[in-house]
């Protein structure tokens, strides 16, 4: 005889994003089912109960992890852009410095030849 489910699970298409984050680490359907049941069991009951409070913390943590990946990608793009900008500035400064040194060498050549002779 099978026992009836004590909780009603939502349809898979409508699962909360924080639950999806936790489910992404599950390899098999039985693991996913166990995580879903635990998640929804913790989310029911007295708002001051440990299970509900723990569920709120898990949800907050899942949101933080999701937001962190987006921030890291954005910061990486900013760092790459800054590095490219610095390389571009450095290349220009080197080219300008070489051009100035060349022009000063050409301009000072008659003066240097007059001093040596």
Query: Which residue range(s) make up the domain with 50?
Result: 12-116
CA 85 – CA 67 distance, rounded (Å) = 27
C-beta of residue 13 within 8 angstroms of C-beta of residue 25: no
- What is residue 103's predicted lDDT score, i.e. its pLDDT? 94
70 pLDDT exceeds 70?
yes
Q: Is residue 84 part of a domain?
A: yes
User: For residue range 73-115, what is the model confidence (pLDDT) as tens digits?
Assistant: 888 899 999 888 888 888 888 899 999 999 999 999 888 888 8
Q: Is the pLDDT higher at 37 or at 52?
A: 37
C-beta of residue 32 within 8 angstroms of C-beta of residue 73: no
Which distant-in-sequence residues (6+ apart) come within 8 Å of 51 by Cβ?
41, 42, 43, 44, 45
Q: Is residue 70 part of a domain?
A: yes
* Total number of domains in the chain: 1
Question: What is the pTM assigned to this prediction?
Answer: 0.35
CA 74 – CA 8 distance, rounded (Å) = 39
- Any idea what DSSP says for residue 87? H
Q: Is residue 58 part of a domain?
A: yes
From residue 98, alpha-carbon distances to 15, 67, 87 in Å are 63, 47, 16
CA 27 – CA 46 distance, rounded (Å) = 32
């Amino acid at each position: 005889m099978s026992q009836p489910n004590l909780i009603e699970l939502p349809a898979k298409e409508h699962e909360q994003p924080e639950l999806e984050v936790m489910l992404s680490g599950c390899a098999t359907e039985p693991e996913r089912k166990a995580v879903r049941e635990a998640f929804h069991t913790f989310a029911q009951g007295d708002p001051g109960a440990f299970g509900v409070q723990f569920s709120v913390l898990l949800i907050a943590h899942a949101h933080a992890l999701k937001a962190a990946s987006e921030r890291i990608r954005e910061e990486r793009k900013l760092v790459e852009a800054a590095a490219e900008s610095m390389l571009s500035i450095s290349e220009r400064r080197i080219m300008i410095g070489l051009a100035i040194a060349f022009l000063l060498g050409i301009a000072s050549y008659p003066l240097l030849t007059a001093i040596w002779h």
